[in-house]
């Protein structure tokens, strides 16, 4: 799974002109499931997102996590993060999880986040969303929990 996290002073998501999620200071995370991902990748990625130290301490160093600052978390599903852009002029979405698996893993990610964070808001899976944010810094990081690797076949 992949998360593109941005430290924000505020962020919100609108669908069809209606506000569906909004936070003040915290993190906005674009979240993507890849083929082969499991709930374990969702759990591992969430652990990194909420514990990643991107907020300033008293001396201004990035030593505090989302949990430390009790910030908001806006989770936005975005399958395009898995695009293969290595060649050509059109992205391939083959690396992305099939839609139903992507939805299940995103929902698992959100459920786990709500157990850990005081304020979790979301976008809408599969919707045409308008995402608004004020990136604080700017501070942006790409995090990934690799899909499990296939075990090597046993030798005869």
Q: Which of 6, 78, 121, 122 is catalytic?
A: 78
Q: Which of 80, 85, 94, 140 is catalytic?
A: 80
Token digits of residue 29: 């995370």
CA-to-CA dists, residue 104 to 35, 46, 47, 52, 100, angstroms:
13, 15, 18, 24, 6
The 3-state DSSP class for residue 132 equals: strand
Told to judge if 78 belongs to the known catalytic residues of this protein, a careful annotator would answer: yes
Q: Which of 6, 41, 55, 79 is catalytic?
A: 79
Told to judge if 80 belongs to the known catalytic residues of this protein, a careful annotator would answer: yes
The phi, psi pair for 106, rounded to 5°, reads -65, -45
The 3-state DSSP class for residue 12 equals: strand
Told to judge if 109 belongs to the known catalytic residues of this protein, a careful annotator would answer: no
Q: List, by residue number, the catalytic residues.
A: 78-80
């Amino acid at each position: 799974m992949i998360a593109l996290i941005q430290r924000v002073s505020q962020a919100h998501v609108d669908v069809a002109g209606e506000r569906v999620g909004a936070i003040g200071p915290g993190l906005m995370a674009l979240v993507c499931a890849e083929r082969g991902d499991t709930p374990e990748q969702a759990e591992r990625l969430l652990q990194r997102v909420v514990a990643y130290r991107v907020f300033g301490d008293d001396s201004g160093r990035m030593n505090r996590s989302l949990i430390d600052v009790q910030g908001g978390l806006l989770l936005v599903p975005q399958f395009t993060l898995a695009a293969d852009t290595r060649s050509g002029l059109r992205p391939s979405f083959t690396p992305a999880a099939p839609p139903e698996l992507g939805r299940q893993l995103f929902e698992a990610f959100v459920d786990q986040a709500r157990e850990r964070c005081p304020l979790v808001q979301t976008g809408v899976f599969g919707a045409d969303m308008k995402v608004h944010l004020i990136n604080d810094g700017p501070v942006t990081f790409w995090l990934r929990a690799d899909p499990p690797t296939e075990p090597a076949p046993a030798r005869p």
